[in-house]
Structure 1
Amino acid sequence: MERHSDSDITIRQLDISDADDFINLYADEKVRKFSSRDAFTSKEAAIEYFMSTDIPHPWIRAICLSGRPVGSISVSPFHGTDKCRAELGYMVASDCWGRGIATAAVKMAANSVFVDWGHLERLEAVVDVENPGSQRVMEKAGFKREGVLRKYYLLKGRPRDAVIFSLLSTDPLS
């Protein structure tokens, strides 16, 4: 498995031209295992999803390897009285797992979002208990494991336990 230097890994705004890459990403059963999103049935469905969900999202980026999208990363703000925190989520093509790509992207996103959103004090990530690879990404990116949230979310209609991680604006960023 070839590791990549951080200079090969970038994050950038999503573009409608990324639809084909994301059709392939969502078609990957390994990627969808912990995702609530189903595979796209057509390029039109992917474009519609991009236009209605991803493009208007307040903070979402394509994760690119040598300029080619291999995943996405998003930060979703909490609303109401909890505007000081947000939740990070990401997905990366399974053929890119174990190569440092997700860890680099998470670090870039955390560094960027704490600058973009000066009011943000806490960035959270919720990871399925059966996804040790993603838990390791969070730890390597500097997030602190806080505990297990029992039956925290539904995945494909079933309640799932999740590990919650956090990074504070005052934590050292790599």
Structure 2
Amino acid sequence: MDVEIIDHITLRPIEISDVDDFMVWATDENVSRFCTWDTYTSKPQAFEFINNIAIPHPWFRVICINNRAIGSISITPHSGVDSCRAELGYVLAQKYWGKGIVTRAVKMVTSAVFSEFPYLERLEALVDVDNKGSQRVLEKAGFLREGILRKYIILKGKSRDIVIFSFLSTDSLRS
């Protein structure tokens, strides 16, 4: 069944009509545990995020099965002296964890990002040291684990160590 699911994954821009699907993962404390955002508590809060942040974002997509949003993935390009790099972020509804869905979505994005943003040379992802599942996703997608950034971010009120991963425009995708 997992192979069948993976074959039907699509990515598309988020729409306001995705709000109910968005609420499934955004209100789940297990999902938001390692995210920089706090768990959502209301639909108006979700509408505000979708309208004011996700839709105008330079590259924010929902991960879909049968056009139903089950998570999201984004690329945030840096500007100025950092314009050669962008940051990858993703989240997935808990019931879909462990099925290879995010790994597939990351591979889809990685294969397209350098042609969509031709000035990029580096795609990077920052992952909490305790988020082993997300680290496995990136490793399976061909990202290189570069090291640990100690006490790099304040997450949910505590300073946290972060593992940094990268994929360069000259790297090869794993099949």
TM interval, short-chain normalised: over 0.9
1:50-89 equivalent positions in 2, closer than 5 A: 50-89=50-89
Question: What's the TM-score, normalizing by structure 1?
Answer: 0.95
- Please give the TM-score of this superposition, normalised by the length of structure 2: 0.94
Query: Matched residue of 1:41: which SS?
Result: coil
- Percent of aligned pairs sharing the same letter: 55
Displacement of 1:161: 0.3
Q: Contact 1:4/1:101 (CA < 8 Å) preserved in 2? A: no
Provide Cα deviations, 1:110-157, integer angstroms capped at 9, x if missing partner: 112111000110000011000111000000000000001101111012
> Which consecutive residues of structure 1, in runs of 5 or more, have no partner in the other structure?
none
Partner of 2:108: 108
SS at match of 1:164: strand
* Matches of 1:29 and 1:45, distance apart in 2: 16
Which string of whole-angstrom CA distances, capped at 9 and with x for unpartnered residues, describes residues 40-94 of structure 1? 3332221111111111110110011232111000111112111010010100111
- Counterpart residue number, 1:117: 117
Q: Who is 1:130 aligned against?
A: 130
Name 1:162's counterpart in structure 2.
162
CA distance in 2, matches of 1:149, 1:81: 20
Gaps of 5+ in 2: none
Quote the residue 2:148 is aligned against.
148
Aligned ranges 1:16-95 → 2 under 5 Å? 16-95=16-95
Q: CA RMSD in A?
A: 1.2
Q: Partners in 1 of 2:92 and 2:110 — Cα distance? A: 17
- Cα distance between partner residues in 1 of 2:132 and 2:41: 29
For 1:39 and 1:33, how far apart are their aligned partners in 2?
8
